[in-house]
């Protein structure tokens, strides 16, 4: 098992550009989430999904879109990058959320200039 | 989900037990106590969770008070590699996992 794989690991964008952060898991987990972590801060939830075709907003969803067409993949799209979106982005997945912990990816470090 | 209160930071001598407290006085009956840790900008790592009973695994022990209003994560023999931010989260599974600020544990040689 590769676990939760995030690509790219690093990215620099110009203000106004769009991009997609990829997240894939090979554990057949139903639950997946995206978090962002600003320097020196805790994790904040952006969007989450409880299964293929089902997504919902977290604490800080503005400026981001998600979709969940397959169980394995949960991409995060930045529509028009802004410097305030400079952050480290973590994707996580879980088998059933309650009885098992979430497995996190290693993160994507995004800088918007 | 109920909120938690943790100390901002703690120190622990290497080889000693690290006891990390967490208050969750408004926890509901169906909410579990979860602990995660994050080592220097890596993705968070699940440690342990429990509902009422004390729990132990290869990483740590979790002690939950009888009234469930507080808990303690115990790392029995802390090493330098245990230096991390530790997050205590109460979670029912009905809403997504939300992280607070956690406790920054520094293990000192």
Q: Residue B2: pLDDT above 60?
A: no
Answer yes or no: do A45 and B97 touch at CB < 8 A.
yes
Determine contact: A87 vs chain B, CB below 8 A: no
Contact residues, chain A, for B88 at CB < 8 Å? none
Answer yes or no: do B32 and A45 touch at CB < 8 A.
no
Contact residues, chain A, for B50 at CB < 8 Å? none
Point out the residue among B46, B96, B101 whose CB comes nearest to the CB of A101: B46
Query: Is B67 in a helix, a strand, or coil?
Result: coil
Q: How many helices (H) and strands (E) does chain B have?
A: 0, 9
pLDDT interval class at B42 (50, 70, 90): very high
Share of chain B above pLDDT 90, in %: 81
Query: Is A66 in a helix, a strand, or coil?
Result: strand
């Amino acid at each position: 098992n590769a676990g939760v794989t995030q690509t790219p690991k690093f990215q620099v964008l110009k203000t106004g550009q769009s991009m997609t952060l990829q997240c894939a898991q090979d554990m057949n987990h139903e639950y997946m989430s995206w978090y962002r972590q600003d320097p020196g801060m805790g994790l904040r939830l952006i969007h989450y999904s409880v299964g293929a075709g089902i997504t919902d907003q977290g604490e800080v969803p503005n400026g981001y879109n998600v979709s969940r067409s397959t169980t394995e993949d949960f991409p995060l799209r930045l529509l028009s990058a802004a410097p305030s979106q400079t952050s480290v982005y973590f994707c996580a997945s879980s088998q059933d959320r309650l009885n098992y912990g979430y497995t996190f990816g290693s993160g994507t470090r995004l800088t918007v200039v | 989900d109920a909120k938690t209160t943790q100390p901002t930071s703690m120190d622990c001598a290497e080889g000693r037990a690290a006891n990390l407290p967490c208050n969750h006085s408004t926890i509901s009956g169906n909410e579990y106590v979860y602990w995660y840790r994050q080592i220097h900008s890596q993705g968070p790592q699940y440690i342990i969770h429990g509902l009422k009973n004390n729990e132990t695994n290869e990483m740590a022990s979790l002690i939950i008070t009888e009234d469930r209003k507080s808990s303690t994560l115990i790392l029995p023999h802390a090493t330098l590699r245990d230096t991390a931010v530790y997050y205590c989260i109460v979670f029912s599974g009905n809403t997504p996992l939300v992280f607070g600020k956690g406790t920054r544990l520094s293990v000192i040689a």
